[in-house]
Structure 1
Amino acid sequence: MVGVTELREETPGPSFGHTLLRYRTAAGLSQRELALASGLSVRALRELEHGRAAAAQEKSTELLATALGLTGDERESFLLLAREGRRRSSLSGTTTMLYGLPAAPALVGRDDELGLLSRAARAGGTTIVIGPPGVGKTSLAVAAAERLKVQFPDGCLAIDLRGVDDHPVPAALALERMLTALGVPSGRIPPGEAERSSLFRALMRDRRVLVLLDNAADESQVLPLLAGGEHCLTIVTCRRSLAGVEPAQRLVLDMLAEQSAVDLLTTIVGEDVVLGDPDAAREVVGLCGNLPLAVRIVGNRLATRRHWSLSYLAGQLRDEHRRLDSLAAGDLRLRPAFELSRRRLSPAAQEVFRRLALIPGAHFSEELAAVVTGVSPEEVEAQLEELVEASLLTVTTERMRLQFHDLVRLFAQERLAAEEAEDVRAQLRDALLTHVLRRATAASELFRAKAVGVPRDSPFRSPGEAKDWLEQESTTWIPVLRQATEARRYREVVDCTWALYNYAHGREPMYPWTDVFGCGVRAARELGDQKAEVNLLSQYGTCFHWNQGDSERARDVLLETVALAEEIGHHWGAMITHSAVGWPLLSLGEPEEAQRHVDLALEMSESYDFFETRFWMHIGSGGIRLATGRFGEALAFLTPLLAETTERIGETNQELAGKTMTLLRMNIADCLSGLERWQEAAEQYHEVIRLFGTERPTYRSRVELLVCEGTAWRHAGDFQRARECLTRALELCDDPTGRGDRKAVEAELALVPAE
């Protein structure tokens, strides 16, 4: 229980006279009839009901309660209200002693949440503030109560329910303390929880009181403590959602935004420190996961160690093995906050919690959770629910993925190392690697040029489902490839990375492909598989150009790969590498050499499958012509390719069909633009955008394509269509998938004449 404070009463609370009038009306009695029944005069009743007398004397109040037929909690509330009225009269407007609000640090970055609680105050009822340990639930609730207390003239009641302790405050004890704060003599407080709860609600019925129930344990503790009065606001803070508390409004408190976290750090260490090294300040709060408690801890550490710099502190926090040790300053410690939540979990949920730390991804599915924990899907669902309820896991809004806060993950890793034997950890890790590698390989196989339909033994029902899996699990399968390489599972790594080649084409900006194919190259070399080495080196080198913009490194790797392919007689590997090296050579100012390589690749491709090989050799040769400004030559080269592709489109899968057609039409549109055949170019760009549909574009962003189309329409003289395209492009600039330059779009839009 927090201490006692003095709160000035701005206006009187629920008057005895108003309550008397309400009970008399409910009883169907006139003033004269009540006067006869109670022995009071009509004049005395009139004075009370009109508020000209604060309250009746104790004996008169007893007589009135009897005459009105009041019993139980209603009678007790009526008598207590009379006592308060007499006390107010004797104090003549001085202060009233009530249980006050706990002290809390300054609140930063929670304006939206404070606004929501302010709106809740007008409506009354119950609002539950939910969030993980250290997110600032108490700070928010106390700040809101301080701001809102003027709206609750009958005072504020605040109690720490100690919900994560081994022995939370029993509801009966909390009720006893709140009833005492409301002025109920100890001798009149009922012995049982239910009776105390009933009396508490009766006392709150006509009052305007703000009740703060901090650090609640569960529904059984909270439900008896709800005020119930329509003019009262109860704010509950809890790590759990308290689904059984209804009706209630719920406010899920998330991490601070980066700038708000920096602002919080500034309030502790001073503006001069943060402005002196703003990059280090951002890194520090990022390593704290923008968790307010963690930011406060590191701020206090820095404030008490003036010889430290922000960059030194950031260096300490970078070490994941020491980070939780670093997040302690005086009485502020992060690890115990997490431990209190963990201890309240069931043994099964504790086991799942620590084993989930083996998943390297930022988020994960229930299926992956079952694999890595060794628990059946049905059982793991229940344990995950418990972890989410305890705010140790969160559910992402997109596609219902589960995720750890970074610091909670580190805590789970500590528990894993402390509580699971090494052989168990190794077994679980192997199960994870096997599952993810097989899934990634199977998913990627569905993007092969010859993959029409889904094999019976595939874990995926469609290429779309496979694509979704690869996108959603990318934060897992990429680090799993690294782990599998370190674990010397070389054959599986080679098979997986080579399968990913099919998926990678056209998705160059989306993933760190140099890391992916680098794992494959290392694994192939360890196996002594030179053919696989060539295939994967071709992709590895290509990614230096397309992903990292390092054309020199790309050229060097690819030319060495050509030499190796020719040395071992790997015709197909030499062909695809000749085609790949053309683009970095062009970027390095060697257009003739670039054309020579891609044309050689085209000659070598004649005996291979169209969609798997020949199409790409053709598009490479035509693309170099286009990139060097030979628009007519490129158009003449690509036009028959469009006819053949259209004729053979049924020979490949839907994704590759769409990818080839969009890439080909985009190149043709660029040729037409270069030739200033503007209307034809605009129509081709429009068709490319249509082919993309709702899919995320790969080779060029939707904004870029809309600008191309809009520019072509402007040159063609169709200003309305130009404006429509460019306006749409402007709208998409802020979309994460838009990848658009707002200033460039605005500049192009300004060139469209006004109608």
Structure 2
Amino acid sequence: MPLGERLRELRRTTGMTMEQLSEASGVSVRAISDMERGHIRAPQPRTLAALAEALRVTGAERRRLEEDARALRMHTAAARPRLCEPPRAVTDFVGRCAELDLVRHAAETGSDSSPVPVVVVHGQPGVGKTAFAVRAADLLRDRFPDGRLHVDLRGVDPEPATAGEAATMLLKALDVNPRRIGSTDEERCSQVRATLRDRRCLLVLDNAADEAQLRPLLPGAGPGLVVVTSRRMLGGLEGVLRIGLAPLEPAESAALLRAIAGQAADPAAAGDVETVSRLCGHLPLALRIAGTRLANRSGWTVGNLVARLADADRRLANLHTGDTGVAAAFALSHAQLSGTGAALFRRLAHVPGADFAAPLAGVLTGSDPYDAADRLDELVELGLLQHEGADRYRFHDLIRLFAGERLRVEEPAGMRAATRTRMARWLLETTIVAGRWFEPGYGCLPEGWDGPVPLATLEEAGEWLQAEAGNWLAALRIAAEAGDDQLVVDVAEALHWFSDTMVTWPGWYEVYGLSRTAAARLPDRRLEVVHLNYYSWAATTCVRRLDEGARAALAARRLAVELGDVKEEAWALQYLGTALRFSGRFEEALDAFRRAQHLADLVGDHDGYLQLFQGIGLALMSLGRHVEALAEFRSTLREVRLRPVAPRPALGATLLARFSVAQALVELGRWREAIREAELAMPLAIEYGEPGALGHVHLAIGMARAGLGAAAEARSELNRALELFQGTAHEHVTGEVRSALAALRG
């Protein structure tokens, strides 16, 4: 039975006139008459509920009434032209499961009396915000029988849609009589909010420009849901759920490529598919374009696509098909930048490392860090830059390429070269200042230094050096390419003591490779032997190139003997001994260490002398002579109190001796003594700040706990040691840790 006839029958059954029903329900006589005659579309849920209450309709009869109303709404919607219809959903949507669950949960929290949930989906250009919103609307269509409406707010156009224009479109889509649509933007937005209050609609406001454009359109209480997409975070909106979309996971990228292009589905192409995904930065728009180009060229393999995308200078040009291009998507955000924002954006292409902080951005533009931070936030807001932790930033790989294109187009070569040189020199000068905090002869800021980086303490200096390692290492390459040999040597020398806090970093191999080459070109031959020794240490200890480390140590020793430099000869013998010990040549290593210690003592090199007890002890441990090794380690603890050694070298020597004593006691089966020694080493390791040293402390405690039969405690300590050793040059120790854990499980 049609809805109008059912309403008339129910009214007559109750004996009510239209006027009486109007008075009881609050619905106008005209509206009731139009409904009964079928002259207007189905009433909204609130109107129907008021009529049902007045007619005392309950149970099955009320459900039939609601079903008739729903069927009429669907018939009416199908019969009229569809306005604000969502765009076609992609058939190969992948990933975003967690994010879609968040939208689904938000939809479930809505009710007639609570504020309409608003979800803001934000992210960089090309990350798939619109596709995500359309996918969410499609999955939730059954929850919103009154419709799913989509409005493109044209937020990145030169003239975005006004709230009033969007409201007019929505009112027409919501079947509001054109003659009743308000004459002002404020009136139309108010009508949208009032109309949505009674309707179970899902509203997608796509490509929003800013908060001011959105606020007038957002409904108050009601049973609907609003999904907003924007390149901006829209931080000024309160009480909304924000979902930031990141590039896809590698497996999702591969799945998308396979769904688009048949060539990518061949298992033999898996490696090339992975490479294409990486070259596209796992960005959905780039992946879709790359996949479409591949699918449209039946003669291509995925390898052909890899070859096209491998050229960084042509990659963005190759990520273009038809009227869609990655660079064009970036350009829309770029066009919205202020003049200073655009200058910073292109100059950030000079940054060589993966991430950076505001002071480096300030150097590139000649501004102070606070002004630079404001401009960086502008780039983040437009999706052209990403936050990396609390105060660092990074480019998406493809946006970095776009910034580089803008830099080449907008600045002449001379200006680009000058900016690059200024950046590199600032990085290296700051590196020298920070590194000298760790040198026994310095240990403070130079008088009058007023750089933009906080380096007032050793801890601040160390944090900066670690955070900016990728940038200052690249700057060192720039100085080496320019032939600035003295600067290269000065930087490497300033980092010598700091390197002990990052022993496992493989970058030292390049640092001291560059400084060795630079020192060989300078007139001071002593610098050449010093940096040959540093290079030997890096080759042996940091990257485990043992033959190379031994050859460098032997070359350094020959040159030291030629120059009569006994101190550097001792260091060369020490580094040779380390390479020999790592190579399993323990007797030869022991001999080299003992000769080195004699020479160090002869010339009063107390730092070198103390370190050699460690080398001798470790060689003896490898030979199974644990009692002798224990005596050597304890000699360090005695001598460090007797010799004039600077505080930080003394800390390092004491730490090494303590955990080595613990390890020797473990080998001797003296478990409780080993634990006591390791516990004395623990605060020293924490203060020193080198993960591998702390790992050795936990290893000693774990092995001692295992020896005492405390399996659970041993596993905890050994797992902690494993975490600290992972991904470092201490990986040769991880086999020992895993074997110990396996023994505990057995």
Q: TM-score, normalised by structure 1?
A: 0.84
Q: Is residue 29 of structure 2 the alignment partner of residue 42 of structure 1? A: no
Q: Is residue 66 of structure 2 the alignment partner of residue 96 of structure 1? A: no
Aligned mate of 2:716, from 727, 738, 744: 727
Amino acid at match of 2:719: L
The answer (yes or no) to whether the contact 1:454–1:461 under 8 Å persists in 2 is yes
Aligned mate of 2:412, from 412, 421, 424: 421
State the shift of 1:174 in Å.
1.4
State the shift of 1:44 in Å.
6.2
Distance 1:617 1:450, change over 3 A: farther
Q: Is residue 342 of structure 2 the alignment partner of residue 344 of structure 1? A: no
> Which residue of the partner structure matches residue 309 of structure 1?
301
Q: Is residue 93 of structure 2 the alignment partner of residue 107 of structure 1? A: yes
Number of residue pairs matched?
Answer: 692
- Structure 1 window deviating more from structure 2 (308-317 vs 333-342): it is 308-317
Amino acid at match of 1:330: G
- Following the alignment from structure 1 to structure 2, what is the Cα–Cα distance between the partners of residues 550 and 742? 19
Distance 1:104 1:486, change over 3 A: farther
Deviations 1:401-421 (A, max 9, x none): 111111111111111111012
The answer (yes or no) to whether the contact 2:127–2:245 under 8 Å persists in 1 is yes
> Which residue of the partner structure matches residue 75 of structure 1?
none
SS at match of 1:505: helix
Q: Is residue 659 of structure 2 the alignment partner of residue 666 of structure 1? A: yes
The answer (yes or no) to whether the contact 1:638–1:664 under 8 Å persists in 2 is yes
| Structure 1 segment 33-432 matched on structure 2, within 5 A | 40-43=18-21, 55-58=31-34, 91=72, 94=75, 96-97=77-78, 98=82, 99-105=84-90, 106-123=92-109, 124-270=116-262, 273=265, 275-397=267-389, 399-432=390-423
- Structure 1 window deviating more from structure 2 (485-494 vs 460-469): it is 485-494
Aligned mate of 1:708, from 700, 713, 717: 700
- Structure 1 window deviating more from structure 2 (557-566 vs 640-649): it is 640-649
The answer (yes or no) to whether the contact 1:264–1:296 under 8 Å persists in 2 is yes
- Following the alignment from structure 1 to structure 2, what is the Cα–Cα distance between the partners of residues 500 and 493? 11
> Which residue of the partner structure matches residue 564 of structure 1?
559
SS at match of 2:150: strand
> Which residue of the partner structure matches residue 7 of structure 1?
none
Aligned mate of 1:489, from 484, 487, 496: 484
- Following the alignment from structure 1 to structure 2, what is the Cα–Cα distance between the partners of residues 59 and 711? 84
The answer (yes or no) to whether the contact 2:427–2:472 under 8 Å persists in 1 is yes
> Which residue of the partner structure matches residue 683 of structure 1?
676
Deviations 1:335-388 (A, max 9, x none): 001111000111111111111111111111111110112223332222112111
- Structure 1: tracts of 5 or more residues without a match: 1-11, 18-30, 62-84
| Structure 1 segment 324-723 matched on structure 2, within 5 A | 324-397=316-389, 399-457=390-448, 460-505=455-500, 507-607=502-602, 612-646=607-641, 651-654=645-648, 656-693=649-686, 696-700=689-693, 702=695, 705-715=697-707, 717=708, 719-720=709-710, 722-723=711-712
The answer (yes or no) to whether the contact 1:127–1:249 under 8 Å persists in 2 is yes
State the shift of 1:303 in Å.
2.0
The answer (yes or no) to whether the contact 1:452–1:653 under 8 Å persists in 2 is no
SS at match of 2:567: helix
Amino acid at match of 1:297: I
The answer (yes or no) to whether the contact 2:636–2:654 under 8 Å persists in 1 is no
State the shift of 1:562 in Å.
1.5
The answer (yes or no) to whether the contact 1:40–1:60 under 8 Å persists in 2 is no
- Following the alignment from structure 1 to structure 2, what is the Cα–Cα distance between the partners of residues 425 and 380? 19
- Following the alignment from structure 1 to structure 2, what is the Cα–Cα distance between the partners of residues 274 and 575? 59
- Following the alignment from structure 1 to structure 2, what is the Cα–Cα distance between the partners of residues 430 and 367? 16
Amino acid at match of 1:726: R
- Following the alignment from structure 1 to structure 2, what is the Cα–Cα distance between the partners of residues 373 and 92? 59
- Following the alignment from structure 2 to structure 1, what is the Cα–Cα distance between the partners of residues 528 and 658? 33
State the shift of 1:250 in Å.
1.0
- Following the alignment from structure 1 to structure 2, what is the Cα–Cα distance between the partners of residues 668 and 742? 20
> Which residue of the partner structure matches residue 3 of structure 1?
none
- Following the alignment from structure 2 to structure 1, what is the Cα–Cα distance between the partners of residues 686 and 408? 48
Task: Return structure 1 stretches of 4+ with deviation > 6 angstroms.
Answer: 48-51, 734-744
SS at match of 1:559: helix
SS at match of 2:207: strand
Amino acid at match of 2:646: T
Deviations 1:713-737 (A, max 9, x none): 232x3x33x5223125436756897
Give the RMSD, CA atoms, in angstroms.
3.3
The answer (yes or no) to whether the contact 1:354–1:413 under 8 Å persists in 2 is yes
- Following the alignment from structure 1 to structure 2, what is the Cα–Cα distance between the partners of residues 733 and 590? 27
- Following the alignment from structure 1 to structure 2, what is the Cα–Cα distance between the partners of residues 269 and 565? 63
| Percent of residue pairs identical | 33
- Following the alignment from structure 2 to structure 1, what is the Cα–Cα distance between the partners of residues 565 and 300? 59
- Structure 2: tracts of 5 or more residues without a match: 9-13, 38-65, 110-115
Q: TM-score, normalised by structure 2?
A: 0.85
SS at match of 1:605: helix
SS at match of 2:345: helix
